[in-house]
Amino acid sequence: MDAPSNPSRGNMTILLSRAQNGDRQATEELFPLVYQELRTLAERFLAGERKNHTLQPTALVNEAYIRLVGPEATWENRAHFFGAAATAIRRILTDHARTRDRLKRGGGKQPVQLEEAMTVAQDVRDQDLVGLDDALTALTAIDPQKGRIVELRFFGGLTVEQTATVLGISPSTVIRDWQFAKVWLHRELVKNL
Amino acid sequence: MDESTLKRAERVYFEVSHLHANARRAALDAACAGDAALRAEVESLLQHSAGAREFLEEPALGTDFRLLTGVDAGPDTMAGRTIGSFRVDERLASGGMGTVYLASRADADFDQQVAIKIVKRGMDTEEIIRRFRAERRTLAALDHPNIARLIDGGVTPEGQPYLVMEYVPGMAIDDYCDSQSLDTHARLKLFKKVCDAVQYAHQNLVVHRDLKPGNILVTPAGVPKLLDFGIAKLLTESSPADMTMMEERRLTPEYASPEQIAGVGVTTSSDVYSLGVILYELLTGCRPYVLKSRTTAEMERVICEVEPPAPSTAVMRPQTRVGPGGKPETAATPEAVSSVREGSPQRLRRRLRGDLDNIVMMALRKDPARRYASVEQFASDIHRYLCDLPVIARAETPAYVLGKFIKRHAWGTAAFSVAVGLLIAGLVFIRAQRDEAYAARDQAERIADFMQQVLGAADSGDTRAMGTSASIPDVLAAAAARAQVDLAESPRVLAAVRSVLGRAYLGLGMYDKAEEHIRAGLTLREDILPRGHHDIAESKLDLAHLHYARGELKEAEGLLRESLAVHQHQRGEKNQDTARVWNDLGAVLRAAGKIDEAEVACRTALEIRRAIADSRDTIEIAESLNNLAGVQRQKGNTAAAIVSLEESARIRKKLLPHDHPLVVQSIANLAILKAGAGDLAGGIELMREALPMEARSLGLEHPDYARSLSSYGVMLMRIGRLDQAEEPIREALRIRRLRLEPGDPGLLAGVDAMARVLIKLHRDAEAEPLLREALELAPRGTERAQTYRASITAELKALYARTGETAKAERLAGEGAAPAADERNAVPPSDGNP
């Protein structure tokens, strides 16, 4: 496996520890590194480097983690890394979707059928993603914790327990918030169609 | 909106979301008193609680990490384009594998509408195209009125594979049934058509692999049509070495079989399972499982391990889903579910209980080998149910369920630790008493009994019922090994444990293992106890049972007589244990053909037991009466036998649960006796009562169940119901071939019955090999045996005369000495003896 070019594993571990202790700047520094690593990895997979691999998002993130941090770090570090990765994935996905959306539709919004909006989870479509991103931003503005939970669960693919660890809250709170956030976002998405 | 509004809405939402409509309205009134905006907000959210259930549950990336790289997922501007010879009209649906468009033939005069599925980018295009070429002939050959045809396929100029299929305007089968408020009967009839179509495909070597209501549409005319046959395989089967993750992610987990989830081979049995889930849902309105998340671990846990509730149970529960705080919340009430089915929950429950429960649960068994062997068998059972005929499906026996439980929870060892621990405690107790008093022995015995209970083998009936289900022998082996180590210092307790193990193996029919342990127990006891000690007699009794089970009657009789002497000497005649030995001796003597001696033994046991019981009814008395009836019958005294047996059945029914193996045994025996005495209608009626009970308590492949089934078939044959007779006789023979040794009279009885029913059905070609087999299996020597052989020979000759095979008939000449017996005498001994 290639060694990550930048930064060193030691640096990543320090960054993660700082992020874990609530250091906002560390979180911000972490993000572009994770973002870049995820993109690189995904491109490599596409380039056919591992043609026979199938991959889940968590596996992708995991690999990025091992490359950036090393295999032996603590679970807490890993959880925070996954947290950063969730944000990165959200950004990557919605950026692409926005670009494509503009190219395709020349700015005009095409209504989708209700049925389709409801199955957004199964088949992520560009306009749904853009809509979701907007709604999620709105939700985060009034309830940051719920917004973050959706980011971790939907974009990061984290389980309830993992989400709870990253946020330092109880799994039952995660479940409750997740439940409500889904209802709220669903309403927003359908409303805006 | 601001934060506090959201928080308030959230609080009210969770207060009311789990309530039914009326209660919800009242709660909303109370919670939002005067705050119209809050109320509007909550009501608006409530409208989305169902829609949001699956929403976002699948993580954004799925396996499609391509999204991360910014590679275009393909423009969604297909409308108006031409694909092959079709013009795309509009998009119909999108799914995990691609997008489906409605299209019509561009060049033709006639108006043919088709559905075109364009495979999602990012799937292994080359591989799909290769596979499609390999399979298209097979898929295109599927020509069935209930299967949507595959018309064409190819690759778009952009390199995306596509499939052109018959377009089916219709509703998903579950929605259709609900929208038409179809009752259970109508749902089953519709579902059976689906099964027939799947079976047709299986015969053409095509497995669906992704059956779900969404793939089964019903046209406005009520015709079900299956979509996407074989497509799942086309699209999801990666290179053989690496087919797990892809498939797992693409299939619909709620309908996937445990073997699909586990990533092991997919066979026609997986379709049986998926159909089972669909039927479950059609009948109950809910799925057998609730997946809390779609993670691999959760799917594996739920689909591979959780036993779903029976449909009749499921419909009485409010359906739940995982709600806030991990607490279940109501999704549909029993009233709502039954309103589009049978009217009321109670009616629906009654309808489902019994056969339909068993049918659905049989299709849903985790182990493919324990499901219906084919979709055809599944469909036939539904057909039988619809015609009010007995069905094949039986509930799992309690012992089987317990065995699985033990296996699943690795409880075998834990429970045995407890049992062995108690045995050690028992030893301490015995030592503390420092005497050989009965109390101490009873204590040890109770501990040993407890151990048997741990095995789900509290009595011999249940032990028989267990059959050789995989886990129990494992557990026994573990216990044996453990006992050797833990009890090495306590030979007396070790002996007791080995005896218990021996008995358990005996119950399982594993005779060699049984002998090993029983003999080890006996040797230990002979080493440490004085001659003639009761425990030694006990071991010898166990050994006698073993010999009896193996048909070694002489050895069994010798040991029993030895035990009897010890018991009479130590306990006296009027003693429960002495009576038991008399009873066992009676059974052995009867089996050995010593009828008069057997009658004496049975009567002695009965008298002792009556004397002890002091005019109360006891199980032991019922047992003696049952055995006495057997002797009486063998002596030709059928009337007396019926009286004994009726009394036995009365006591057992009074004292035991209604489907206890012993109650069933009495009813089955009575049925056979009555039929033997000419009361065929009475026999059939009793057997109808006994069969389902027997299947439940013994399991579907127990030789005793086969005996009853075969007898039932023979009775039906005798009253001329040939159409109904064949199936039970065939099934009985199947079981007997599976479970019995070639020398077993039961096997001969089964072959005989099958041959005779086939002859009556004028199917000589099928009957001939069976008659020959009967001749091979039939014993020689006794007069009775010769009479029987002669009757078979006569049947064969008559058959050859019909088929004109005179040469074969000639070769039988040597066998034909005795006159042909009539049919009743000709039925070999085993299918009739109580």
Q: Which tens digit of pLDDT belongs to each residue from A88-141?
A: 778 777 776 666 555 544 433 333 322 222 233 333 444 577 788 889 999 999
Average pLDDT of the residues in B21-43: 86
Query: Scanning every residue of chain A, which has its alpha carbon at the shortest distance from the alpha carbon of B61?
Result: A57
Per-residue pLDDT reduced to its tens digit, B526-542: 998 888 787 888 889 88
Q: How far apart are the CA of A119 and the nearest CA of chain B, in angstroms? A: 7
Q: Give the tokens for residue B808.
A: 């074969």
- Mean confidence (pLDDT) of chain B: 76
* pLDDT above 60 for B147: yes
The pLDDT value recorded for residue B422 is 34
Which of B1, B55, B326 shows the shortest C-beta gap to A186?
A: B55
The pLDDT value recorded for residue B295 is 62
Asked if B543 and B586 count as a contact pair (C-beta separation under 8 A), the reply is no
Pairing between strand B86-95 and B82-83?
Answer: antiparallel
- In B31-71 the beta strands, taken as DSSP E runs, fall at none
| B232 compared with B74, residue with greater pLDDT | B232
Per-residue pLDDT reduced to its tens digit, B664-699: 878 888 888 888 888 889 899 999 988 888 777 667
- pLDDT band at residue B402, thresholds of 50, 70 and 90? very low
Per-residue pLDDT reduced to its tens digit, B39-52: 989 988 988 887 77
| A159 compared with B821, residue with greater pLDDT | A159
Contact check, Cβ <8 Å, A183/B3: no
3-state secondary structure of B364: coil
> For residue A133, what is the enclosing H or E element?
helix A126-142
Range in B198-212, B308-322, B354-368 the model is least confident about: B308-322
* pLDDT above 60 for B73: no
Contact check, Cβ <8 Å, A184/B324: no
- Give B246's contacts in chain A (Cβ within 8 Å): 54
Q: Which range has the top average pLDDT, A125-129, B350-354, B431-435?
A: B350-354
- Give A118's contacts in chain B (Cβ within 8 Å): 51, 54-55
Range in A44-53, B298-307, B605-614 the model is least confident about: A44-53
* Mutation for A interface: B17, B56, B102, most A CBs within 10 A: B56
* pLDDT above 60 for B239: no
Cα distances (angstroms) measured from residue A41 to each of A57, B169, B649:
11, 44, 75
The pLDDT value recorded for residue B379 is 92
Per-residue pLDDT reduced to its tens digit, A101-112: 555 444 333 333
In the stretch 55-114 of chain B, residues with CB closer than 8 A to chain A read: 55-73, 75-77, 93-96
**B3 touching A, CB under 8 A?**
yes
- Give B323's contacts in chain A (Cβ within 8 Å): 179
> For residue B249, what is the enclosing H or E element?
helix B245-250
| B416: nearest Cα among A190, B97, B424 | B424
- pLDDT band at residue B495, thresholds of 50, 70 and 90? confident
Q: What pairs with residue B443 in β-bridges?
A: none
The pLDDT value recorded for residue B460 is 31
Which of B48, B59, B73 shows the shortest C-beta gap to A154?
A: B59
In the stretch 209-248 of chain B, residues with CB closer than 8 A to chain A read: 238-239, 241-242, 245-246
CB pairs under 8 A between A and B: 151
Asked if B829 and B745 count as a contact pair (C-beta separation under 8 A), the reply is yes
Per-residue pLDDT reduced to its tens digit, A165-185: 778 888 888 888 999 999 999
Contact check, Cβ <8 Å, B67/A124: yes
Q: How far apart are the CA of A113 and the nearest CA of chain B, in angstroms? A: 10
Q: How far apart are the CA of B40 and the nearest CA of chain A, in angstroms? A: 13
**B1 touching A, CB under 8 A?**
yes
| B565: nearest Cα among B581, B544, B580, B545 | B581
* pLDDT above 70 for B404: no
Cα distances (angstroms) measured from residue B404 to each of B313, B369, B394, B408, B507:
21, 15, 17, 6, 18
Annotated catalytic residue: which of B178, B196, B210, B462? B210
Average pLDDT of the residues in B323-338: 61
The pLDDT value recorded for residue A67 is 67
Which of A52, A116, A129 shows the shortest C-beta gap to B239?
A: A52
Q: Cβ of B660: how many Cβ atoms within 10 Å?
A: 19
- pLDDT band at residue B449, thresholds of 50, 70 and 90? very low
Amino acid letter for position B431? R
Dihedral sign for Cα B498, B502, B505, B510, please.
Answer: positive
With a threshold of 0.85, tell me whether the complex ipTM lies above it: no
| B668 compared with B408, residue with greater pLDDT | B668
Q: What are phi and psi of B259, to 5 degrees?
A: -70, -30
| B341: nearest Cα among B361, B317, B315 | B315
Q: Cβ of B705: how many Cβ atoms within 10 Å?
A: 27
* pLDDT above 50 for B427: no
- In B167-322 the beta strands, taken as DSSP E runs, fall at 171-172, 216-218, 224-226, 319-322
3-state secondary structure of A14: helix
- Give B251's contacts in chain A (Cβ within 8 Å): none
* pLDDT above 60 for B139: yes
Dihedral sign for Cα B462, B463, B465, B471, please.
Answer: positive
* pLDDT above 80 for B28: yes
Query: Scanning every residue of chain A, which has its alpha carbon at the shortest distance from the alpha carbon of B242?
Result: A52
* pLDDT above 60 for B317: yes
Can B143 be counted among the known catalytic residues?
no
Asked if B120 and B176 count as a contact pair (C-beta separation under 8 A), the reply is no
Which of A95, A143, A186 shows the shortest C-beta gap to B51?
A: A186
Asked if B627 and B586 count as a contact pair (C-beta separation under 8 A), the reply is yes
Contact check, Cβ <8 Å, B55/A92: no
Q: Give the tokens for residue B328.
A: 């279940």
Distance between CA atoms of residues B797 and B611, nearest Å = 56
- pLDDT band at residue A6, thresholds of 50, 70 and 90? very low
| B660 compared with A105, residue with greater pLDDT | B660
Contact check, Cβ <8 Å, B94/A185: no
Range in B239-248, B277-286, B338-347 the model is least confident about: B239-248
| B73: nearest Cα among B116, B117, B115, B123 | B123
Contact check, Cβ <8 Å, A156/B66: no
Q: Give the tokens for residue B177.
A: 């049934």
